[in-house]
């Protein structure tokens, strides 16, 4: 028998560091609670994030602060059209003194990677990064190196300037666990942002947890209890995007080219468990699935030309699906 009370107490005890982290991050990041929460979900589920938002919304600041609070190594890579895979993973350098080739590791050897404007670099660089994300290892010359754990890639895209960019292919988008769309701060938050930036005092982030704590928490996230009804709910949602006609969604059937892959189901289940963990619960409820559904599914549904002509977005399709699929 599965003892929910026991796992609940264990998770409440072990998830205290979440509050510590959020408190530490709130020293420098005003508002953006949604983004910080999604960052933690990616971190604890061992997934990667794709952030979309206009410049100046603290995307870089958020991941940099998270790395500082966890006492982890951080690399920022600015993607440009002339970037090469070697600039990312590293290369072999010839050492004249020793008359041999030595490995020079690239910026990807860190715990947290910020891939800024990932759609500005050509496909070969994107695939080098995505291979590292998937395999958690990098090959330089004939040597293969394991990447450090935890390894979290946060890629950003700028939705405004689409000229001169190389959009990520669907198969590569699928490797990101979440696609998070960030909006502008509220008026109150913006007022605080101005004050904080103009004040003299500097808020420095101190490390509050170690990387080993994160790895331990990842084990615990997997222990969060998920009932069979919730599993069925997740599968119903994903199948409704694949076969809308079978799920009383005939009106949006012609708007969808393809639905979520099995990765969508896996990530939706894992993200729901992590969301429950962050909310300090030892079991998943349907609200967890609904809360995280847009971020997991947003980039996994292909819209048809009709949908684009009618200004239909994937978020609207997900809303329709969530309204129709029966909640357990």
Q: pLDDT by residue (tens digit) across 66-80?
A: 888 888 888 999 998
Residue 163 confidence (pLDDT): 66
Banded model confidence at residue 108, pLDDT cuts 50, 70, 90: very high
CA–CA dist 230, 232 (Å, integer):
5
Which structural domain range is residue 92 located in? 16-199+206-211
* Amino acid 233: pLDDT: 94
Across 5-9, 31-35, 277-281, the highest mean pLDDT is recorded for 277-281
> Does residue 63 contact residue 114 with C-beta atoms inside 8 Å?
yes
pLDDT digits (tens, 9 = 90+) for 136-158: 888 888 888 899 888 889 888 88
Element (H, E) at 242: helix 228-242
Q: Which distant-in-sequence residues (6+ apart) come within 8 Å of 283 by Cβ?
A: 4, 7, 8, 224, 225, 226, 227, 276
Last residue of a domain, one of 188, 211, 234: 211
Token reading at 213: 């704590």
Among candidate residues 180, 211, 242, the one where a domain is terminated: 211
Whether residues 239 and 191 fall in one domain = no
Q: With 0-12 CB in 10 A as exposed, 13-18 as middle and 19+ as buried, what is 250?
A: exposed
Q: Classify residue 41: in a domain, yes or no.
A: yes
In terms of phi and psi (left: phi > 0; alpha: psi -120 to 50; beta: otherwise), the region of 47 is beta
Domain count, the chain: 2
Q: Is the pLDDT of residue 89 over 70?
A: yes
Using one digit for the tens of pLDDT, what is the confidence trace for 219-244? 989 988 899 999 999 999 999 999 98
Provide the whole-model pTM.
Answer: 0.88
Residue 1 has pLDDT above 70, yes or no: no
pLDDT tens-digit readout, 12-55: 888 888 888 888 888 888 878 888 899 999 999 989 999 988 88
Q: Which residues contact 49 (CB under 8 A, 6 or more apart)?
A: 38, 39, 42, 152, 153, 154, 155, 176, 177, 178, 179, 180
Q: What is the CATH number of the domain that holds 27?
A: 3.40.50.300
Produce one character per residue of 282-320: b if its CB has 16 or more CB atoms within 10 Å, e if not: bbbbbebbbbbbbbbbbbbbebeeebeeeebebeebbeb
pLDDT at 162: 67
Is 216 contained in some domain? no
Residue 117 reports pLDDT greater than 90: no
CA distance 52 to 182: 6
For residue 104, the SS3 value is: strand
Confidence band, pLDDT 50/70/90 cuts, at residue 265 = very high
Contact assessment for residue 21 and residue 40, using Cβ atoms and an 8 Å cutoff: yes
- Calculate mean pLDDT across residues 277-298: 92
Q: How far apart are CA 191 and CA 210, in angstroms?
A: 33
Q: Which domain CATH number covers 272?
A: 1.10.8.80
220 in a structural domain = no
For residue 218, tell me if it sits in a domain: no
- At residue 164, the pLDDT reads 67
């Amino acid at each position: 028998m599965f003892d929910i009370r026991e796992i609940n107490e264990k998770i409440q005890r072990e998830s205290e560091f979440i509050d510590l982290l959020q408190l530490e991050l709130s020293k420098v990041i005003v508002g953006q609670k949604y983004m910080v929460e999604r960052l933690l979900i990616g971190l604890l589920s061992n997934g990667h994030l794709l952030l979309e938002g206009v410049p100046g919304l603290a995307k870089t600041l958020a991941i940099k602060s998270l790395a500082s609070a966890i006492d982890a190594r951080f690399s920022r890579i600015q993607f440009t059209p002339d970037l090469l895979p070697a600039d990312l993973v590293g290369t072999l350098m010839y050492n004249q003194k020793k008359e041999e080739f030595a490995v020079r590791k690239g910026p990807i050897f860190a715990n947290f990677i910020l891939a800024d404007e990932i759609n500005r670099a050509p496909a070969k660089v994107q695939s080098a990064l995505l291979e590292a994300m998937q395999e958690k290892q990098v090959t330089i010359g004939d040597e293969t190196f394991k990447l450090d754990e935890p390894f979290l890639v946060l890629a950003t895209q700028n939705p405004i300037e689409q000229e001169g960019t190389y959009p990520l292919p669907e198969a590569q988008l699928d490797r990101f666990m979440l696609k998070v769309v960030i909006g502008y701060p509220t008026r109150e938050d913006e007022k605080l942002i101005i004050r904080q930036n103009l004040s003299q005092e500097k808020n420095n982030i101190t490390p509050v947890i170690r990387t080993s704590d994160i790895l331990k928490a990842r084990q615990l996230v997997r222990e969060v209890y998920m009932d069979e009804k919730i599993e069925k709910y997740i599968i119903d949602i994903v199948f409704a995007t694949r076969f809308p006609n079978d799920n009383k969604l005939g009106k949006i059937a012609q708007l969808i080219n393809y639905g979520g892959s099995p990765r969508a189901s896996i990530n939706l289940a894992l993200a729901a468990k992590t969301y429950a963990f962050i909310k300090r619960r030892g079991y998943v409820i349907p609200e967890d699935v609904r809360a995280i559904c847009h971020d997991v599914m947003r980039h996994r549904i292909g819209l048809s030309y009709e949908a684009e002509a009618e200004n239909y977005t994937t978020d609207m399709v997900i809303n329709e699906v969530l309204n129709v699929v029966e909640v357990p």
